[in-house]
Structure 1
Amino acid sequence: MLNRLQRLLPEGLLADAAWFTAEGYPSSLRSRYLSSGWLEPVMRGVFRRPLKTPGLEHKKAPLRWQQVVISLQLVLKRPIVVGGRTALELDGFGHYASSAGPREIHLYGDERAPGWLTKIPIEASIVFHNARKLFRAEPISDALERLMSVIAGDEPSQFATIHGSLTWMRFGDGDWPIVLSTRERAMLELLDELPDRETFHQADVLMEGLVNVSPKRMSVLLRDCRSVKVKRLFLWFADRHAHAWVGRLDRRGIDLGSGKRMLFKGGRLDPTYQITVPEDPNAGG
């Protein structure tokens, strides 16, 4: 049983009590593994396989948010990916996506996240979003199934384009893959947070730095997006910054709805997209 657990749960990754029970490890056996040091408690009902760190054998290695996400994706098989601001940071836009206050990790999923996820003791707070509220297609669960093939080496070069809006990168000494939104999808996810959790100025700076975008992928995502607000905002920003890819967007079939959208109090109404935008786009609000 222990050898099997070592295969199922790699060092540094975690699982909850429901997973252990489903895999045939009752609470009595978990207690034995905890007392012998084969498992360590993370929080009530969540356990981790200890990570061996040279020189720190007698200290508990800190739990990083990436290990939590990888555990969700690879061990617990939860349809959850990194998205929004966090995906943009991982994609190299960290200098554009600076944030004041405690760091937030934005995760998106097809279904409800486990109750312990937003309470887990890590260096940042986790914000969970329902991916289905923003996009109709592109099921995350299908993409994670494909990831299993990537790990097995069956299709290492195709995964990033299978769904068009999800990609992956390696993390840590274990070289584990972590699945995240492409920059095109992540930008739409971030715009969905305006004006409550993200600022207009922050989105403007990010769009200015979004020089390399796939027009085909972006066009598909805009057609698939459920939010009229997000689509209008994206196209307004795209026109404003006029990157080379903007002229290659296929705008046919993108439903922009009807009527005006009051997004920013005291702003001006843009006549093309019928949304209120700040008088000064460079302002911090």
Structure 2
Amino acid sequence: MAIERDAKINRLFLDWSVGAVYLNSYLKKRGISDQLLSQYKKSKWVKSIGTGAVARYNDDVSLISGVSTLQIQAEMPIHFGDKTALSLLGRSHYLELGVQKAILFGQKNKKLPAWFRNYSWETEWEYHTTDFLPHDTGLTEIKVDNFTIKISSAARAIMECLYLATDKQDLVECYQIMESLNNLRPDSVQELLEQCSSVKVKRLFMYMADKAGHSWVKYLNLNKIDLGSGKRSIVKNGAYVKKYMITVPRELEENNESDI
């Protein structure tokens, strides 16, 4: 019995990446019973990081590894988005993962498991659930440390920034980011804009892309993008943009006439 137990832990550890989190349910599928896992904990081979999740005893686990576990083992529709994704893609100097709060997006009404919510991750994070974009559209895979994770592409990430924007400072920062996105793929942008359900996001995205003068804008088919109808006041006491019927921070539109 001891030989079989040791053989299983040896096989498991051969595949266990440093810092990886494993779900009890996932290990059970690989032949590690709850009883055997309990013995591994007593022997200090593994440690619990919350109900239903474990790591190797001496390993430090990161938010990246936790999200990887949710994506791969739990098959949850969750990903790094917004400025966090842009930072991970190397496209934004506004936020560095590990210094600022990481932004996670999930499908509407999808709750995170208790072990993830309650663990003291090294990085602060916040979680947003929404269906303003399909959960599987506009994602890309990258490798961070030992883990392959899905994050928002640059096009989806700036749309998420616009979705979460609440005041003029946020929108000015969004525009500063948009200015750097001069090589987005028009087909990817087109797909996202067609599937986006937020009129606010679509109008702001097109306004900022136009204002930044990006060459990829001319390849978009606006006839297939529903920009809604009527005026939208994005901020109070802002400047009105006739083309997209939105009120934006005056800092972005100082030279335009306002006819609000």
TM range (shorter): 0.7 to 0.9
Deviation at 1:3, TM superposition (A): 4.6
Checking the alignment, whether the CA contact within 8 Å between 2:83 and 2:95 is kept in structure 1 is no
Match of 2:141 in 1: 168
Q: Structure 2 residue aligned with 1:108, among 105, 124, 127?
A: 105
The amino acid that maps onto 1:113 is L
Q: Structure 2 CA distance, aligned partners of 1:10 and 1:46?
A: 15
User: Residues 197 and 240 from structure 1, CA distance in 2 versus in 1: closer, same or farther, beyond 3 angstroms?
Assistant: closer
User: Residues 16 and 23 from structure 1, CA distance in 2 versus in 1: closer, same or farther, beyond 3 angstroms?
Assistant: same
Match of 2:5 in 1: none
Checking the alignment, whether the CA contact within 8 Å between 1:117 and 1:126 is kept in structure 2 is no
| Identity over aligned pairs, percent | 32
- Which of 187-196 and 8-17 deviates more? 8-17
Q: Structure 2 residue aligned with 1:246, among 204, 211, 217?
A: 217
Deviation at 1:129, TM superposition (A): 2.5
* Aligned-partner SS, 1:69: helix
Checking the alignment, whether the CA contact within 8 Å between 1:82 and 1:179 is kept in structure 2 is yes
Deviation at 1:45, TM superposition (A): 4.3
Q: Is 1:12–2:10 an aligned residue pair?
A: no
Q: Is 1:40–2:61 an aligned residue pair?
A: no
How many residues matched? Answer: 244
Q: Structure 2 CA distance, aligned partners of 1:197 and 1:20?
A: 48
Cα offsets for 1:56-115 (capped at 9, x unmatched): xxxx443222111222222333232222111111111231x238x962222223343323
Checking the alignment, whether the CA contact within 8 Å between 1:87 and 1:183 is kept in structure 2 is yes
Deviation at 1:217, TM superposition (A): 0.9
Q: Structure 2 CA distance, aligned partners of 1:41 and 1:195?
A: 39
Q: Structure 2 CA distance, aligned partners of 1:77 and 1:5?
A: 20
Cα offsets for 1:162-214 (capped at 9, x unmatched): x6x22111221x3x322111111111111100116970121011011111110
Deviation at 1:261, TM superposition (A): 1.8
Q: Structure 2 CA distance, aligned partners of 1:238 and 1:31?
A: 55
Q: Is 1:81–2:79 an aligned residue pair?
A: yes
Match of 2:128 in 1: 129
Q: Is 1:272–2:233 an aligned residue pair?
A: no
**RMSD value over aligned CA atoms?**
2.8
The amino acid that maps onto 1:276 is T
Max Rg structure: 2
Q: Structure 1 CA distance, aligned partners of 2:218 and 2:80?
A: 29
Q: Structure 2 residue aligned with 1:184, among 152, 155, 169?
A: 155
- Which of 243-252 and 223-232 deviates more? 243-252
Superposition pairs of residues 24-35 of structure 1, within 5 angstroms: 25-35=32-42
Q: Structure 2 residue aligned with 1:215, among 173, 186, 194?
A: 186
User: Residues 45 and 207 from structure 1, CA distance in 2 versus in 1: closer, same or farther, beyond 3 angstroms?
Assistant: same
Q: Structure 1 residue aligned with 2:61, among 43, 60, 63?
A: 63
- Which of 223-232 and 267-276 deviates more? 267-276
Match of 1:226 in 2: 197
TM-score normalised by L of structure 1: 0.75
Cα offsets for 1:238-272 (capped at 9, x unmatched): 11111111222221211111222222122122222
* Aligned-partner SS, 2:67: helix
- Which of 270-279 and 200-209 deviates more? 270-279
* Aligned-partner SS, 1:33: helix
Q: Is 1:90–2:88 an aligned residue pair?
A: yes
Match of 2:4 in 1: none
Deviation at 1:282, TM superposition (A): 8.8
User: Residues 113 and 9 from structure 1, CA distance in 2 versus in 1: closer, same or farther, beyond 3 angstroms?
Assistant: farther
Structure 1 gap ranges (5+): 51-59, 141-162
Match of 1:56 in 2: none
Deviation at 1:222, TM superposition (A): 0.2
Q: Structure 2 CA distance, aligned partners of 1:166 and 1:270?
A: 31
Structure 2 gap ranges (5+): 1-7, 255-260
User: Residues 206 and 31 from structure 1, CA distance in 2 versus in 1: closer, same or farther, beyond 3 angstroms?
Assistant: same
Q: Structure 1 CA distance, aligned partners of 2:239 and 2:174?
A: 17
